[in-house]
Amino acid sequence: MGNYSSRQQAAQSETPTYFTQEELSKLKSEFKTGGVENVQPLLQKKLKELDKTELNIAVTGDTGTGKSTFINAMRGLCSEDEGAAAVGITETTMEPTGYPHPNLPNVRYWDLPGTGTPQFTTDSYLKKMKFEKYDFFIIVSAGRFTENDAKLAMEIKRLGKKFYFVRSKIDADLNSMRQQRKEFDADAEMRKIRRYCVSGLGKAGIPDPTVFLISSFDNDMYEFPRLMKALADDLPKIKQSVFVLALPNLSVEIIQKKGEVLKERIWMLAILVGGVGAIPVPGLSAACNIGILIGVIIYFRECMCLDHVALGRLANRKGKSVEALKAAAPSPLLGEITADVIVWLCTALVAVSAVASVLYFAPLVGSLFGAGSSFLMAFLILSNALNLLIECAIELLAVAKGAE
């Protein structure tokens, strides 16, 4: 009981995620004067704002550095997948080309033309690429970083934007060294490569640069996970949440982070589900909008890379069938989501613990709760669905790593 009280007090002293203090005050005021019906339009507006939040990520550098392969890796795609960025030895990009995330189209990676080519001198490059539109820049090199890279970084800094240096193809370099030497220390060699990159950038005018050593083919190894964490941490809260949901499931940590982002939205969705066109359903103790519930669960499934298309891509890469993957993590949530599945989700739920969780995220609607309220029922269903999807994603990650 003590833990519940302290958690409730903490919730009431914090601003719910995504809301400014002004928005929170308006929510409380509208709820006091008109109840949940007055709150729903404000929450619908906020959810639409989250859905429409754009994130534009520029990937640039000299030709042949692996920009397209990197973009595909960040989107969870291989070069053979539909919608993948074209991969070629020669420069394949003459104009900035945007590649949307497969499930979150407002997240877009831009493959910029390589610098230092006959088509683009550095000066003309800076003018034509319209740097202002991008949220941050990733400068990729497959060897040493050049004077062009340093000039780009300084221009990006002048515009007040973030940039990150990525040294690609580290796997190929280490494999080549391993074959040539009787004694080989991968960590020591990576330190040498880093010093070489940092030294070159320092001479070109970038003091103390941070360089990430990655392989786009082994994107759960080397410093690919550290890069993704750095990119997320430097973004504003709303864009950070969008970026996290767009990440491929490379680790348990990423999957759990996605779960945290989605859990912060559940209370808003539950208010809409419990009040907009709610109808009784046999087997449920309160009326809910089943159509919205199903749509939200499908959205959760896509964010967790558990939709049929994402499972198909994973199956192809691991030489398995989609049915074999589903058998490894059996759940009704991986099939068609129907009213019967919604009723199934209601089984074995503990209402008291759910109330505590809701109060933690949404103190302003605490007075709505009762064991049979539509809001609480919707919250229970969505929370249970998300927890099960997180478990499925973690199980399939283990299966994928086992296949490797």
Distances (CA, A) of 332 to 297, 329, 337: 12, 10, 8
Global pTM reads 0.83
Residues 273, 366: Cα–Cα separation, whole Å: 17
The answer to whether 215 and 171 are in contact (CB under 8 A) is yes
Bridge partners for 35 per DSSP: none
pLDDT at 43: 82
Phi and psi torsions of 367, nearest 5°: -70, -10
What is the rounded CA–CA span in Å between residue 158 and residue 147? Answer: 17
Number of alpha helices (DSSP H) and beta strands (DSSP E) in the chain: 17, 6
Gyration radius of the chain over CA positions:
24
Which pair of tokens denotes residue 402?
Answer: 């086992």
pLDDT in tens, 353-381: 454 555 444 545 554 444 447 777 888 88
Report pLDDT digits (tens) over 222-258: 999 999 999 999 999 889 999 999 999 989 999 999 9
Which tens digit of pLDDT belongs to each residue from 165-203?
999 999 999 998 888 887 888 899 999 999 999 998 988
Domains of the chain: 2-34+250-403 (no CATH), 54-244 (3.40.50.300)
Tokens 């949307």, located at residue: 100
* Burial of 202: CB neighbours in 10 Å, binned 0-12, 13-18, 19+: middle
Residue 132 is classified by DSSP as G
Dmax (CA) of the chain? 77
